[in-house]
A and B are shown apart, each in its own frame.
Chain A
C-alpha cells in the first residue's frame, strides 16, 4: 500500500513537472523570427504509386493544346503499349516506410527573410532583392545561398542569442512539418492555396506568408524557395531511413517557384546546388537543451 502510494505520488509529481515544462506552442526570437512547436509523432514516407496511362488519358493528352500547338496530335498508344505502361507503373510501386520523430522541436513558421538574413549577416546575396522589388524585398525569402552560407547564418544566430539551439532541420523533421499530419503520402496537393510556383509561376519569389499556411501553421513549405536541410544527399529518388554520413551535396526540400503542380510534394527528395536564386532556408530551434 505504502509502495503504491509512493508510485502514485511520483506519477503526480511527474505530471506537474511535465505540465510546468510544457513548451509554448509558439515562440518569437529577438529578431522577430517566429517558431511553431512540432510534437513527436510518426509518418509514412517514400510511397510511390505512379498512375498508369489509360486510353482515356491518352485521348485527353492527344487533344491537349499547349501554347497554341497540338503537341500530341495523333498520340494513340496500342493496347500492348498501354499494358506495358500499366505493368511498369505497378512494378515501380513502393510502399515506403515509417519514420518516428521522437522529440518535439520548433520550426520556423516562414522561410528566413532577407530582412532577417541582413540583421544576422550584414549582407544580402538575394537575386530578388530591393533593386528588383523595392517595396517588399525585405519580406521575400533570402536566396542565392549555399549550404555553408546557411550554416554561417545559424552559427551567428546562435551567438546572437547565446544559445546552441538553432540548426537546420533534418529531412524528416522538415518533411513531417510539411505533411502536417496528413494521412497517406500527399493527401491534398495544396498548390494553388499554399505554394508559390506551378505552371503559371511568375518566375520569381514572393514575400513569405503570401499564400495560406499548412494545417500546422507553416508557410511556404512547398514552393517559393527550396530549403536546405542538415542531411547529406544519398543520390537516390527517395531518402533512406538514415542519411549518408558524408557526401558532396545536401538535401533540399519543398520545391521552388520553378517547381510545378505535378511534382511538388513534401516527399520530393532533391539536392543542391539548384539554380542558386531558388534556394533558401528555414531554421529549427531545439525545444529541449539536450536535443
Chain B
C-alpha cells in the first residue's frame, strides 16, 4: 500500500495529538505518544540532503512502515518532522539480515546524529555509534557489552531474534547524552557520553530511521556496509515519551 498523505491539521483536530493512530495497529506503551499512526507516514519525511540517498520509498502495509531503496541502491534517512531533546523512544523493528540501518537520535536534517546501529546478525546491532559526528569513549554505567569480538559471546546475540520482530527502548537525556538501551525488554547497556558531540552544539534533533546506501553514484560501486540493495527495513509501533 502506498503512503496516504492526510492533512496534518485534520489529524490534529481529530486526535488532539499530532497522530491519529490506528488503535488496531498501535500497542501503546503507558505514557507514550505514537510517532507512527500505523496507516500513513504522516509526521515523517525523507532527508533531501544525505549521502545515503535523497529519494527512498516509504510505504505502510498491515501496520508496518517499510523503507525501501530508490532508485536501486540508494537509501536515505527518514526523519520525524519534529525535533526532540530528552526522550524515551519505543519501537519494534524487523530488518532483513545483512542489511544496514539504524535509529538516529538528535539528528540534523542532513543526518549528523547519535546512532543506534541495526545490522543483524553479525553487526553491532544496538551499539551507540557516531553518524557524521565524532565522539570519545563512552563511560558505561552498566556492564559494557561485547559488540565487536565475534569469537566471544555477545549479549546482543542472546537478546536479538533474527528475521523476527524485536522491541527496542532507547532513552537519551542530557546535553552530554546519557543513553540507555533495552532490547526485547532486557537492558543492553546504560552509558554516559563525556560531552555533547553534535557538530553545532545542538541538544535537540530529529529522530531518524536510516536505510543505508548500498551502492555508489554514479558509475556505481558496492557500499562498504550495504548488502543486497532490495533488502527492506521494517518498523512498527513507533512511539515516544518526552522527558524533562
A residues contacting B by CB (< 8 A) are: 47-51, 53, 57-58, 60-61, 64, 66-75, 77, 81, 84-85, 88-89, 91-92, 94, 127, 144, 184-186, 189, 201, 203-204, 226, 233, 235-237, 249, 252, 255-256, 258-265, 267-279
Contacts and interface: CB of A to CB of B under 8 A. Distances in A.
Given A127-B199, A226-B49, A269-B54, A186 B219 contact: yes
B70 interface: yes
Given A74-B122, A75-B98, A272-B49, 4 more contacts: A73-B150, A249-B48, A262-B224, A275-B111
Given A71-B124, A258-B110, A270-B54, A48 B217 contact: yes
A271 B48 contact: yes
B117 to A, nearest CB: 9
B185 interface: no
B215 A51 contact: yes
12 contacts: A50-B220, A51-B221, A71-B122, A74-B121, A74-B122, A185-B218, A263-B52, A263-B74, A265-B218, A272-B49, A275-B110, A279-B49
Q: Is the interface of B mostly helix, strand, loop or mixed?
A: loop
Given A69-B148, A258-B110, A270-B49, A64 B224 contact: yes
Main secondary structure of the interface of A (DSSP, over half): loop
B80 interface: no
Contacts of B54: 237, 268-271
Interface of B: 48-49, 51-55, 70-74, 98, 100, 108-112, 119, 121-124, 129, 132-134, 147-148, 150, 199-200, 213, 215-230
A264 B53 CA distance: 10
A275 B51 contact: no
B223 to A, nearest CB: 6
B49 A88 contact: no
A237 B215 CA distance: 14
Contact of A236 (B55, B123, B217): B55
B55 A262 contact: no
B227 A75 contact: yes
